[in-house]
Amino acid sequence: MSKLNMPAIIPVAGMNTEFGMEWDASMIPVGPNYTALEATVYECLHAGCTSIWIIANDDVAPLIRHRLGEIATDIDSIQRGHFATYGATKHIEVPIYYVPILPKHRDKIDNYAWSAIYGCNVAYWIMKKFSKLVTPDRYYISFPMGMMDP
């Protein structure tokens, strides 16, 4: 049986908060040098997601990309690597993709729920173009403002 292909969708676009900060609300600190978005990515890695799709507009995506990067390392592979010979070579890398909302949808249907639906749609069609074998049928949607202790 093959491994389940479950992409994680993290909606950031359309998030309205009243914190009054200069940066996006998903970058709010929840600990020393630890943001809410990083906690959400950590939660997605614990869930066993094979890819992470962050739905962010073009004005916020460079800041998020600078903070998170393009790749996250799977937590289970790190834990298994401690007991294997050359364990660092067995780490599984999970790609992080940044998807902007289309300009025709901005300021019209640009809200938090739409960015989650749009992220699932984009992930489905891009993976379907790769192969029908990697087409996802389940998605893990995680919100930056919903903190969970995995």
Residues of the chain with pLDDT under 70: 1-3, 16-17, 19-22, 79-90, 148-150
**Residue at 55 is within a domain:** yes
Whether 126 maps to a domain, the answer reads yes
- Specify the pTM: 0.85
**107, part of any domain:** yes
The total number of structural domains in the chain stands at: 1
Asked whether residue 147 is domain-assigned, the answer is: no
Reduced to 3 states (helix: H, G, I; strand: E, B; else coil), residue 88 is helix
pLDDT at 1: 34
Is residue 27 a part of any domain in this protein? yes
Give the tens place of pLDDT for each residue, 79-97.
Answer: 666 565 665 566 788 999 9
The domain containing residue 44 runs over which residues?
Answer: 7-141
- pLDDT computed for residue 31 by the predictor: 86
Supply the pLDDT for residue 53. Answer: 95
Burial class of residue 53 in the structure, from the number of CB atoms within 10 Å of its CB (0-12 exposed, 13-18 middle, 19+ buried) = buried
Interval 130-149: pLDDT, tens: 888 888 989 999 988 887 66
From CA 51, how far away is CA 129, in angstroms rounded? 16
